[in-house]
Amino acid sequence: MTLKKTIRSLVFVQHHLHCKIHKMFKLRQIYRSEKGFTLLEIVIVLSVLTILSTVGIASFSSGSKAASVDGALNDVVSTLNLARSRAISQVKPAECEGVLEGYKVIINSKSSYSLNLKCTFSNTSISGYPKTLPDNITFNDEAVLTSFFFPILTGSVEVEKGGANTISILGYGKTKSITVDTVGGITVKNE
């Protein structure tokens, strides 16, 4: 083999190798760009997700606390409405001994209330009562031992213990008040 042929074949091999290497790098570049993300991109995405989840959890937490206060308020209002409607309709449960006189909602403590059935010979708590307010939610001090008596047929209400017809529910920095007027109407107010 002559020197010319050897050089030619070396040039051919070099060119062939150069093409193969070029092709390999090109494929590797394409393969790499389709394969995944850089470390920097992953860190940025994780940082953004962390910030968003922290804000979301904080918002959810305050929203659920407000919902707890609203839920407690709605339960108390529902109990007052139940007492009023049963008194008006004269629903007399079997445990009532004697003549049905009415229904009484009593604020037993800063965290519990009950619905009682008042009859001539008995004063019985209705099934499912007393109820307890959720943790960190209480009645105001003035509400404790206040009772609302709904006599049958009258549609009115008699407030016992100082005649304060407004009770407040406190929790998580929020105050909600419930006012019961003389005809048994119930008004809820945010304070």
Closest CA to 102 of 181, 18, 93: 93
Q: Is the pLDDT of residue 1 over 60?
A: no
- What pLDDT is attached to residue 13? 58
Tell me the C-alpha to C-alpha distance, in Å, between residue 2 and each of 6, 8, 12, 108. Answer: 6, 10, 15, 114
- What pLDDT is attached to residue 78? 94
Q: Is the pLDDT of residue 32 over 60?
A: no
Question: Strands 100-107 and 147-151: what pairing?
Answer: antiparallel
Backbone phi and psi for residue 159, each to the nearest 5 degrees, phi listed first: -95, 125
DSSP line for 132-156: EPPTTEEE-GGGTT-EEEEETTT--
- What pLDDT is attached to residue 153? 84
CA 104 – CA 23 distance, rounded (Å):
89
Residues 6+ apart with CB under 8 A from 159: 146, 147, 148, 149, 165, 180
**Range among 9-13, 38-42, 160-164, 174-178 rated most confident:** 174-178
- Which pLDDT band holds residue 45 (cuts at 50, 70, 90)? confident
pLDDT in tens, 61-106: 667 888 899 999 999 999 999 999 999 999 888 889 899 999 999 9
Closest CA to 81 of 155, 140, 146, 158: 155
- What pLDDT is attached to residue 135? 93
Query: What are the residue ranges spanned by the domains of the chain?
Result: 45-190
Q: Is the pLDDT of residue 10 over 70?
A: no
- What pLDDT is attached to residue 69? 92
Six-digit token pair at 13? 């091999």
Q: Is the dihedral of CA 97, 100, 101, 106 positive or negative?
A: positive
pLDDT in tens, 167-186: 999 999 999 999 999 888 89
CATH topology of domain 45-190: minor pseudopilin epsh fold (3.55.40)
62 alpha-carbon distance from chain centroid: 9
- Which pLDDT band holds residue 162 (cuts at 50, 70, 90)? low
* Virtual torsion, Cα 42, 47, 51, 56, nearest 10 deg: 20
Q: Is the dihedral of CA 100, 105, 107, 108 positive or negative?
A: positive
